[in-house]
Amino acid sequence: MATLEHRSNKKFNLLCLSFIFSFFFFSNSTFAAIVITNQTGTIKIDQPNGQVITIQPGEKIPTIPSGSKLMLINGSAEISATEADTATLLISNGTIMLKDGAKVKEVMALESGDAHIEVLNGSVQVVKDDGTVLNLGEGDTTSAPALADVQRTRPPGADPVQNVARQKDAEQGLVGYS
């Protein structure tokens, strides 16, 4: 009996060790370093390995590795970097550096294409093209003028007034049109 109980404990310990090993060994491929939520627009991602992907609203968001550069082309999204990871959010007049759990919300205005950025969690550093550095904390905001390609990404014949109303409805949680 003692031998059977000893074997059972040994199996349990081995199972626990293999679980712990699997968790740490596969953690880099299982968990995203960069997290995108509440996405209503198109996002371009330049990964550190050189791969460039574009994610449309409603598409499955792939695992995004630390060190990626993201650009919101239109719409809005919340972007965060998990602890000990970094991301660069490209804006028309500079970059926003996210790290250590920082989270921002970026909204592109449909009328002008200007970007409005709000820090939702932690702090970020904004480095403008002219060398100006802004340190923003939770609740702080900044803006950036339209990207050069914004006009090219709007579908031909799209009514900006109608799109603004749809974006405002989406931001307020109103969905569905008759």
Question: Can you tell me the mean pLDDT for 43-49?
Answer: 93
- Whether residue 122 is contained in a domain is answered as yes
Residue 103, token pair as written in the block: 């989270």
CATH at 39: 2.60.120
Which pLDDT tens digit goes with each residue over 90-130? 888 889 999 888 999 999 887 777 889 999 999 999 998 89
- Whether residue 26 is contained in a domain is answered as no
- Indicate the average pLDDT of the chain: 77
- Whether residue 16 is contained in a domain is answered as no
Contact present, 107 and 86 (Cβ < 8 Å): no
The structural domain count of the chain equals 1
C-alpha torsion sign, points 87, 100, 106, 137: negative
Within 10 angstroms of residue 80's Cβ, the number of other Cβ atoms is: 21
Query: pLDDT at position 17, please?
Result: 57
- Whether residue 161 is contained in a domain is answered as yes
- Whether residue 157 is contained in a domain is answered as yes
pTM of the model: 0.66
Percent of the chain whose pLDDT exceeds 70: 65
- Whether residue 11 is contained in a domain is answered as no
Greatest Cα pair distance in the chain: 81
Structural domain harbouring 166? 34-171
Which pLDDT tens digit goes with each residue over 125-166? 999 889 899 999 999 999 888 766 544 444 444 444 445 555
Query: pLDDT at position 9, please?
Result: 72
- Whether residue 29 is contained in a domain is answered as no
**Per 3-state DSSP, what percentage of the chain is helix, strand, and coil (rounded to 5)?**
25, 35, 40
